[in-house]
Each structure stands twice: as C-alpha cells, then as structure tokens.
Structure 1
C-alpha cells in the first residue's frame, strides 16, 4: 500500500496527478477521439511505428487481463467481509457474481449495462470520498506533515517503488486502454477536458483522501497501518477506516464506494481486451456472435489467472501499468512533434516515467533484483 511511504505519497499523488496522470489521460482520450475511437495500440502505432503497435497490442492485453483479475479478486474479498452470513460471506460466491457481471458488461452494448449502473457507482464513490474526508476533519485525525520523517516499515526505498505502487491516483496506463470507450461516447471534442483531464484530477483527490485516512487513522501511524495490512490486507484497512470514521451504516456505504472503484475498472478491462482484438483482426462487433467469439476465450484466460497468487499478479500489474503509461506519453509527445507544437508537456513526464520503470525492473524481485548501487546509475 502506497500510504506506507508516508507523506511522500501526498507529493507523488498531487504532482503526479496534475503533471502526469491528467496529461496522460487527456492525450490518450483526445487522440482516440481524433482517430475515430481507435484503441490505444493502434494510436501508438500511428506515431511510434508498426513495431510499437505490435508491442502495445500484447502489452495492453496482458495489462488488461491482470487488471480484470486483480479487480475481480479484491472486491470479492471486500464483499465477503461485510459481516454477512452464509453464502454471502463466501469469497468464491462473490467472485462468481462479479465474473458474471463482468461477462455481461463485456458482451452487451455499453448502454445496456455499464451506462445504467455507473451512476449508482458514481454516487457511492461521492459518498465515500465526502464521508471519509469529512469525518477525518470532524474527528481531527493527525494527518502527517510533509516535513515529518518517515520511512517504509519494510525498508523499501521511495525511488522507484513509491511511483509504481501508487498508480491510479497519480498516473495509470490502464486509463489509456479505456479511452476508446469514452471517446466513442463523446458528442463533441469540447467534453474532452472535463471527461479525461477532469476525471483524473477527481481520482487524485480520492487518492489523497484515502492516503491521509490510512496514515492517520491507526494508532502508531504507519506501524499500526502495517500491522493491519499484515492481518487482513487492504480490505481490512478499508473496513476498519470506513466503519471507524462513519459508523456501521456510513461505513458500509464507504466500503461499497471503495468496491465500486475496482469493479468499474475490471468490467471495462475485459471489454477493452475484446475491442483490441477486434481492432487488430478487423472483426466487426455489431453481432453478438462475434462479441462472444472474442469474449469467451478472454474470460477463460482471466478465470485461470485467479488461481495464481494475488500478490504476484499485483506486482506484475503495477509495473505493466506504469510501463504502458510511459509508452502512451511518448506517443503523445510524438503527436505534438507531428503537429509542430511543443512536446515538453508530454515528453517531460514520459522521461520521468521511463526512469521509474527502468529502475524498478532492474531492482524489483520480479525483475533483475539488482542492487541500488547498480540500478540507480543505470
């Protein structure tokens, strides 16, 4: 959990969201709009070449499958721990329910499922953010200052681990894979700033609220947070913070808001895989038969991945997510070059994220496991 890095997380979320994530989301969204809703691998191919297009197709599919699996297992565990009894306290039951919903959201047209249920998800997110943030102020929780000395309880270095651990609240390549769905729904380009840039800023605010809550709610600060994480993972943290700040009823609403976050990512992840395959193979998706032809094998692979250790999947997802964002930023910079405009808005965060991803894969256990003395100079 990124909050274990202390107040440094606040800086990364704030600066990363505005200078990296929102820029990334805006460019990926608007480029999709201007290319008739094409998926991000096709757009990258336009500006970085055919080789990059092929790499992005494979990379995007892997990332989206990991997203779908991660955001299937996480919500299932949270729902099973809401205090219900019988089958409703069974993680496997909720996993089956979420999988069934994901399948419908992947196969059916957007206006049949996703467009109808997302307003409800949005409401729970608002309740969660306002409720948790407001109660922190009411109860006067001691939010750590930026100047307070903190280190990760497990001794993990801030560089580059923090910048990979905290993704969705700062910058996330996964967002680029969702751009085609949003771009196909926009009536005009004028909606782009609020839909792509604005939504990322809102996500950054939510991330700041939860980072502050996680750091300040538990006794002994980060040590207390680490103890709760070791007992029950992020799900237990969410449960204790939500119920502790908002009571049982309000806490349940906040938890549902937290559950809505990953579910609204997982459902569109599998859908995006289907669309990427459809674009790559030029398969029309107007018929249900063609949609099923692509969706069924995708879900078979996703279901198989649920049997792999969650922590392993999460580590590979985290790196893949940031690497994808880096490629999209470079493609955005190249677009600006093609337009004879200043590319620094995209190339500066692209350079930073290139350094993050390179150092991470050199140091991380799932990478080359090299020492900092070797990884940092490289």
Structure 2
C-alpha cells in the first residue's frame, strides 16, 4: 500500500465527528421528519443530505489519508442500521454512496483522487457495478459506452462509479467519471425505496483516463488500511445486511407501539395469546439474524486486522448471513403488515416500510443463486471454489 500525497488531505477533517455511530443516531429525528417528503420528491431532501455531509457520513469508508474514518465493519453495521430505522431510503443511499466513494478513494490513481477529494465536503459517488458497459483502449485511457440501471443516490452525486468490460482483454474495470458526462434518465417509478432516486443512466463514447479506473474485483488498496482488503463486494454485504436489520427492527417497533396504544380495550391484539406468541417468534428471528451477521463480521474484522485475507468459509458465511437477514426481515415485514391491519394498509410508516422491504429483496445480493452457492460450498460440493462478487466459481489454476 502507498500513502496518498499530502495535498489529498482534507483541511476540515478535524471538525468532523469520528464517532459515526453516535452521529447516525443523532440524525434519526431529522431523517424521520423528512422521510415522507423524500419519498414524494423521489430523492432525499436537502436538509437530510446537508446533515449527512455535516456529520461526515459519506466518508464512512473513505481512507484515512483522505480525511475519512475507515469505519470498522461492526460499527458500519450500526451506522447503516440506525439510518435505515429512521428511513430505509436514507440508509440505502448512504451505504451505496459510501461504498462507491470510499472504494474510489482506496483504489483509484492519485491524479483521480486529487481531483475528487477537495473542498469542504467529501465527494458523493454513485452508480452501479453489475450489468457492465463496454470500453476500448484509447491512449492513456479508455472510451466507455453503455446503459446502466439502479444508480442509487445519483441525484446527490458529483461522480459516477460504473462497471465496464475492456473489449481487448475482457478485464472488468470500475470507471469513475463526472455525472455530467452521462445522460440521466429520470424513470424511478417503483414500489418502494422511492427516495433513493435509483434512476437509469447512459454513457456514450466518453473518454476516461486510466487513473480514474481500477480493477472491479480488486482487494489491493492504493491507500488506506486493512479495511480495503475486503474489496467492493464485501462493503456491499455490510450495507445490505444492516439495511435489512434496520427495516425489520423499525417494523417490529412500530407494531409494538401500535399494540400498546390499544391495550386495555376489549378484543385488542394486546390480549391475544396468538399475537403474543407470533410477536415473540418475530423478535427471536430478528435477534438471531442480527447475531449471525455480527458474529460473522466480528470474525472477518479480526482476520483482516491481523493482516490475513478472508477464507472462502468466511466469505460464504458473510453471504449466508446477509441472505438470512434479508429473508428474515421480509418474513417479519409480512407478519407486521398482517398484524397491523388497516393501519398498515393506509399511507404511513408501516405501509412504506413494507413496500421498501419488498423493493430491497429484489437486489442481486439476495437472489436465489446466493443461497444455492452457499449450500453447495458448505455441503462440501465445491471444494475448489471461491466467490467472485456473488457467484461461487472455480478457483483460478
């Protein structure tokens, strides 16, 4: 690893909170107050975005030489869960933008980072790294073209992070370029997560210097500490695990509050033994899912902090913990919606969280192939395999 030049440091870093867990929890009232307005607007509100910047939350995973915190995985889980409990779209945008911003800071060349990380705020980088575009070499860079979907948070971003395949070599690269180099397509008309503004975008034959690219699956940082040996995909696992836990936690708390508010009236759920048992089972499922996520990430943190790399067993369990948390949260959301009756049917927190949860389950990190790969590996049926993103593939010989 190399250290970034001193010019890449941030003059305002000393004024930014370093306890991002406390900062996220302190923002919960503001985020809650703005959640309905964000959904109506199809993007986070300006007060929320400004507060996220002021608290340095977009720098959660930015390398320390650039003024970031390099927040450890378990604390990162707490941050995303806290924001998601206040508003699922806010939690989603922060995890997505923090991933793209932080990994850009860790893996891009010095020239790119010098241009991006300046001013009084961290840059916001958004986009997506799944369905790739195409790139061709052009001197000391590439010409990139393609169309992409699900650019969460791009309405608040200055830079795009997007995947392309180099035609000459087949190499998958992440390209980072200014947002104004792309055509944004405002088509986010969806069931849930409306305030993420996860619109489509296209890029047509745009030149991207080599310094603004890095290998998609890299786990070798140019700057920053052991955190960045996780690689992009494992940052995504942290975020999506915490997001699922945050949605389901808030839904359980809303249901508990609703039931308590009606306690004492004849025939309410508060007196139903069947409801009490079902609620207890839901709480047990939530705590079990959270414990699995935290346990696997504590082990992963110990591994990378020691200078080692994650084993295939650990990578598998991290994916399994995410998958379990997502579908446990989905089951909890259904149980809460049913128990909530007409309160959950009408516009409000329960309805919105139910819709947001079912939007979140469509993400690639919780697709059927993930559990199939986990079962194949843990069952001893793929001994010479490793994970590439969310796919279990044969190890390179």
TM-score between the two structures when normalised by the length of structure 2: 0.28
Higher Cα radius of gyration: 2
Query: Which structure dedicates a bigger proportion of its chain to strand?
Result: 2
TM-score between the two structures when normalised by the length of structure 1: 0.29
